[in-house]
Amino acid sequence: MKFGSFIFCFFVFHLFPANVFGHGAMVIPYNWFDHPQWVEMEHGYEYGFVGMKSQQMCTPGADIPKHRVCPNPEHCEGLLNKHIGLACFWFTNYTFIEKPTLFDPKLRTYAHTGYEDQILHNPWRAPGFAPVATPCGAAGGNPYGCFGDKECGNDNGGYQLGPKATEFEFAHDIHVTDWTRGDHVEVAWGIRANHGGGYSYRLCKIPNEGRKALTEECFQQTPLRFVGNKQWVQFGEDRSTRFEFPAVRTDKGTFPPDSQWTKNPIPSCNGIHGGSNYLNPPCINGTQFPPPGPNLEGHGFYFREPKKHFPFSIIDLVEIPKDLEEGEYVLSFRWDCEQTSQVWNTCASVRLH
Q: Is the pLDDT of residue 25 over 50?
A: yes
In this prediction, residue 303 carries a pLDDT of: 53
- How far, in Å, CA of 166 to CA of 206, rounded? 11
> What's the average model confidence in pLDDT over 62-71?
89
Lowest mean pLDDT among 19-33, 71-85, 244-258: 71-85
Question: Of 221, 146, 193, nearest to 344 (Cα)?
Answer: 193
> How many CA atoms lie less than 13 Å away from 337 in the CB half-sphere?
25
Is 1 inside any structural domain?
no
Is 18 inside any structural domain?
no
Is 5 inside any structural domain?
no
Q: For residues 52 and 302, which has the higher predicted lDDT (pLDDT)?
A: 52
Omega within 30 of 0 (cis) for the link into 29: yes
- How far, in Å, CA of 198 to CA of 293, rounded? 18
Omega within 30 of 0 (cis) for the link into 256: yes
55, β-bridge pairs: none
Question: Of 97, 85, 111, 238, nearest to 172 (Cα)?
Answer: 85
Task: Supply the pTM of this predicted model.
Answer: 0.92
- Please give the mean pLDDT across all residues of the chain: 88
Is 204 inside any structural domain?
yes
Q: Is the pLDDT of residue 245 over 70?
A: yes
- How far, in Å, CA of 44 to CA of 132, rounded? 39
Is 105 inside any structural domain?
yes
In this prediction, residue 313 carries a pLDDT of: 97
End-to-end, the C-alpha distance of the chain in Å comes to 37
Beta pairing, strands 230-235 & 312-319:
antiparallel
- What is the domain extent for residue 202? 24-352
DSSP classification of residue 219: H
- Spell out the residues 6+ positions from residue 209 whose beta carbon is closer than 8 angstroms to its own: none
pLDDT band at 263 (very low <50, low <70, confident <90, very high): very high
* pLDDT, tens digit (0-9, with 9 covering 90-100), for 156-206: 567 888 999 999 999 999 999 999 999 999 999 999 989 999 999 999 999
Number of folded domains in the chain?
1
In this prediction, residue 8 carries a pLDDT of: 39
- How far, in Å, CA of 103 to CA of 254, rounded? 12
In this prediction, residue 55 carries a pLDDT of: 87
* pLDDT, tens digit (0-9, with 9 covering 90-100), for 198-237: 999 999 999 999 999 999 999 999 999 999 999 999 999 9
Is 16 inside any structural domain?
no
> What's the average model confidence in pLDDT over 29-54?
91
Q: How many CB atoms lie within 10 A of CB 241?
A: 14
DSSP classification of residue 150: B
108: Cα separation from own chain's centroid: 17
Question: Of 336, 341, 255, nearest to 5 (Cα)?
Answer: 341
Q: Is the pLDDT of residue 11 over 90?
A: no
In this prediction, residue 4 carries a pLDDT of: 47
pLDDT band at 82 (very low <50, low <70, confident <90, very high): low
Residue 184 sits at φ, ψ, to 5 deg, of -100, 125
Whether residue 245 contacts residue 335, with contact meaning beta carbons closer than 8 Å, is answered with no
In this prediction, residue 315 carries a pLDDT of: 98
> What's the average model confidence in pLDDT over 111-122?
92
Is 323 inside any structural domain?
yes
pLDDT band at 121 (very low <50, low <70, confident <90, very high): very high
Residues in the chain: 353
In this prediction, residue 21 carries a pLDDT of: 46
- How far, in Å, CA of 309 to CA of 193, rounded? 8
* pLDDT, tens digit (0-9, with 9 covering 90-100), for 296-343: 999 886 555 555 678 999 999 999 999 999 999 999 999 999 999 999
In this prediction, residue 17 carries a pLDDT of: 37
In this prediction, residue 73 carries a pLDDT of: 73
Q: How many CB atoms lie within 10 A of CB 271?
A: 19
Question: Of 94, 91, 177, 97, nearest to 135 (Cα)?
Answer: 91
Is 12 inside any structural domain?
no
Q: Is the pLDDT of residue 113 over 60?
A: yes
In this prediction, residue 307 carries a pLDDT of: 57
Q: Is the pLDDT of residue 271 over 50?
A: yes
